[in-house]
Amino acid sequence: MSRTRREVHAGAMDPEPLEPLDETWERALCVVAHPDDMEFGAAAAVARWTGQGKTVGYCMVTSGEAGIDGLAPDECRDVREAEQVESARLVGVDHVEFLGLPDGVLEYGVPLRAAIARAVRAFRPDVVVTGNFRDTWGGRTLNQADHIATGRAVLDAVRDASNRWVFADQLGSADGLEPWGGVREVWAFGSPRATHGVDTTATFDVGVASLEAHRAYLDGLGWKDFDAREMLEGFSRPTGQRLGVAFAASFEVVPMGWGD
């Protein structure tokens, strides 16, 4: 993630109020590019949902193996997968899947759509959560290419998953996959076009702990005097003000219509 506290505050000079997310669902699949993406944007929301008894799964498109400059990718992959599994555990998630696509060079296209559609068909969620797929974070800081490719592919893959004639080779396999058209909405956290939010005040601390579980990655970034709590407060407090609570996570909501 690459947003700065300055940019978050700059984008909140005259913010619009946020509407509460519809939480009348049972299963959500979170599909993001890298280990740590959820923790910078939505882990506290996930902790809220699992605390409500909902089932949440994580799907990491890559293993973040290009994310630590001082660690070779083969070694880094194992470290980052282990950190993500532990981080997910802290917020009540025990389903963590790694698709194994190459970190840093993801491309939007049919192979990426197919991999995500398979994950959606297997998990059969009501809601799919992904990260910001817009070109920037709402200011002058560019979004990262893997985030953009993944988020845009998620939107199409959710629709692909419902059509039995798209990626038909996945169906009737040993995995027992069938088309899945039950996704109501895709929610993109951290989007500059966010219109909805969820109160994370009660689960903020566990969200901080889940980010801190990515210790090797955070140390590898070399950010001087990095404080996970301070950074997440910088994101969550202005968002909370838009929702009328102490802390919140924001989401762009994309309804899933099934017309061609």
**DSSP-derived pairing of the beta strands 55-60 and 127-131:** unpaired
Report how far residue 76's alpha carbon sits from residue 181's, in angstroms, rounded to the nearest whole number. 36
139 band by pLDDT with thresholds 50, 70 and 90 = confident
Report how far residue 229's alpha carbon sits from residue 8's, in angstroms, rounded to the nearest whole number. 15
Residue 142 three-state SS: strand
pTM tops 0.85: yes
% of the chain with per-residue pLDDT over 70: 93
Alpha carbon 21 to its chain's center: 16
Report how far residue 70's alpha carbon sits from residue 80's, in angstroms, rounded to the nearest whole number. 13
pLDDT tens-digit series, residues 33-90: 999 999 998 999 999 999 999 999 999 999 999 999 999 999 999 999 999 999 999 9
- The continuous run of DSSP H or E covering 6 comes out as helix 5-10
pLDDT tens-digit series, residues 16-34: 999 999 999 999 999 999 9
Whether residue 133 contacts residue 254, with contact meaning beta carbons closer than 8 Å, is answered with no
Whether residue 206 contacts residue 91, with contact meaning beta carbons closer than 8 Å, is answered with yes
Q: 10 Å Cβ neighbour count for 102? A: 14
214 band by pLDDT with thresholds 50, 70 and 90 = very high
CATH-assigned architecture of domain 26-255:
3-Layer(aba) Sandwich (3.40)
pLDDT at 14: 67
